């Protein structure tokens, strides 16, 4: 029997970390160095980056965010861990369990896998609540500009061309456009009766991602009518935030999305990630309108396995999941939704 030795090391250099994540088959922007630093500065999270090496080759890793939630230590690997070797991942998780034993009840993770077989074999159990959307729509950018447009459904193509005829202009820039985007977003939030993040959230996001993040604003007769914020990581572009207002009859969103796709393609992206759609997009779903909009761009829906919890502290880790399940069901019951978990991201 041959025993393979893995070294588990913390990573403190951005280039080393991002290079390993980009080379992994499960790479994602939320595992990037920039996202970790952004969440450290804005959300007050602790950040640890761990890698399993064999002969100095990175075969598994995880960027883990940490903070206290209701007084309890909470560990979360957004869109992680990533791995190229199951044994390397097993070694990484074993090290984490030994080092974090009795410090945190469990690790929550939602890696980019569609099959949960490996996760379950390593001791993960389904989380009672999703953190990131399980499903997204991916648009293929590895084709001509005309072919991208022709893959849109007929109404989306019509709307994009209609916006051009109406004189909609699309501006692309960086942090200097953030405040205009936020004002549009905040007006939408106020109109719908919910609270929006402060402008500093988006400013810090753009600051951390630099030229890899972009703001797109559609204007008609001097009025901002649609906005979108994108980020690039590896060969994927992510449509993260959107806002609309003003005269929507000029159909600015479809043209803006097309321009954003062309910008991402010019920067080397081969996929445009629409970020999140309902897993079961029925007409009764509160996000069905979002689904219809994103589905119109001719992409392919990808559904991931979702969020899983790895118990770290014996007994307490498993009990914490049960307590969270009970709390979520009780919350739904209080809202008149029955004694069940209502999770629109599931």
Each residue's pLDDT, cut to its tens digit, for the chain (346 residues) gives: 344 689 999 999 999 999 999 999 988 999 999 999 999 999 899 999 999 999 999 999 999 999 987 777 889 999 999 999 999 999 999 999 888 866 788 999 999 999 999 999 999 999 988 999 999 999 999 999 999 999 999 999 999 999 999 999 999 999 999 999 999 999 877 777 666 799 999 999 999 999 999 999 999 999 999 999 999 999 999 999 999 998 889 999 999 999 999 999 999 999 999 999 999 999 999 899 999 999 999 999 999 999 999 998 765 545 555 555 544 454 554 556 655 544 556 6
Query: Do residues 192 and 285 share a domain?
Result: yes
* 135-140/57-69 β-pairing: unpaired
Query: Do residues 297 and 313 share a domain?
Result: no
Residue 282 lies inside a defined structural domain of this protein: yes
Query: Do residues 183 and 226 share a domain?
Result: yes
DSSP β-bridge partners for residue 86: none
Query: Do residues 256 and 297 share a domain?
Result: yes
Residue 184 lies inside a defined structural domain of this protein: yes
Residue 89 lies inside a defined structural domain of this protein: yes
Residue 343 lies inside a defined structural domain of this protein: no
* Burial class, 22, CB count within 10 angstroms (exposed 0-12 / middle 13-18 / buried 19+): middle
Query: Do residues 90 and 158 share a domain?
Result: no
Query: Do residues 238 and 262 share a domain?
Result: yes
| Number of domains into which the chain is organized | 2
Residue 1 lies inside a defined structural domain of this protein: no
Query: Do residues 199 and 119 share a domain?
Result: no
The CATH number assigned to the domain holding 239 equals 3.40.630.30
Query: Of 167, 85, 159, whose CA–CA distance to 122 is shortest?
Result: 85
pLDDT of 107 reads: 95
Query: Do residues 83 and 192 share a domain?
Result: no
Residue 240 lies inside a defined structural domain of this protein: yes
pLDDT of 129 reads: 87
Query: Of 78, 79, 119, 71, whose CA–CA distance to 323 is shortest?
Result: 71
Query: Rounded distance, CA 17 to CA 248, Å?
Result: 42
Query: Do residues 79 and 95 share a domain?
Result: yes
Query: Do residues 205 and 113 share a domain?
Result: no
Query: Do residues 142 and 84 share a domain?
Result: no
Residue 320 lies inside a defined structural domain of this protein: yes
- Residues in Cβ contact with 85 at an 8 Å cutoff, skipping those fewer than 6 apart: 52, 54, 59, 60
Query: Do residues 146 and 258 share a domain?
Result: yes
The tens digit of pLDDT for each residue in 78-119 reads 999 999 999 999 999 999 988 886 678 899 999 999 999 999
- Asked if 9 and 51 count as a contact pair (C-beta separation under 8 A), the reply is yes
Domain of 142?
135-303
Main-chain dihedrals φ then ψ at residue 292, nearest 5 degrees? -60, -40
pLDDT of 69 reads: 78
Residue 288 lies inside a defined structural domain of this protein: yes
């Amino acid at each position: 029997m041959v025993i393979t030795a893995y070294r588990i090391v913390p990573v403190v250099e951005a280039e080393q970390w991002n290079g390993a994540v980009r080379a992994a088959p499960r790479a994602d922007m939320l595992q990037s160095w920039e996202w970790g630093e952004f969440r450290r500065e804005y959300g007050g999270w602790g950040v640890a980056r761990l890698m399993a090496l064999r002969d100095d080759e990175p075969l598994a890793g995880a960027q883990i965010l940490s903070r206290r939630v209701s007084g309890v230590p909470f560990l979360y690997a957004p869109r992680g861990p990533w791995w190229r070797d199951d044994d390397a991942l097993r070694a990484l998780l074993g090290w984490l369990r030994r080092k974090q034993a009795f410090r945190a009840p469990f690790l929550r993770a939602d890696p980019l896998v569609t099959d949960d077989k490996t996760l379950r074999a390593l001791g993960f159990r389904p989380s009672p609540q999703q953190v990131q959307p399980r499903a997204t729509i991916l648009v293929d950018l590895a084709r001509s500009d005309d072919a991208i447009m022709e893959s849109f459904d007929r109404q989306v193509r019509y709307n994009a061309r209609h916006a051009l005829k109406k004189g909609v202009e699309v501006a692309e820039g960086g942090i200097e456009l953030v405040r205009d985007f936020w004002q549009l977003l905040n007006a939408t939030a106020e109109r719908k009766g919910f609270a929006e993040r402060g402008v500093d959230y988006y400013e810090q996001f753009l600051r951390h991602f630099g030229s890899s993040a972009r703001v797109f604003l559609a204007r008609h007769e001097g009025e901002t009518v649609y906005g979108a914020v994108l980020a690039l990581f590896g060969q994927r572009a992510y449509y993260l935030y959107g806002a609309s207002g003003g005269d929507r009859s000029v159909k600015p969103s479809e043209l803006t999305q097309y321009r954003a796709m062309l910008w991402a393609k010019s920067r080397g992206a081969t996929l445009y990630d629409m970020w999140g759609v309902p897993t079961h997009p029925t007409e009764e779903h509160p996000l069905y309108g979002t689904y219809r909009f994103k589905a119109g761009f001719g992409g392919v829906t990808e559904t991931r396995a979702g969020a899983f919890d790895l118990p770290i502290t014996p007994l307490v880790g498993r009990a914490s999941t049960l307590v969270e399940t009970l709390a979520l069901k009780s919350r739904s019951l209080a809202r008149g939704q029955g004694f069940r978990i209502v999770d629109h991201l599931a």
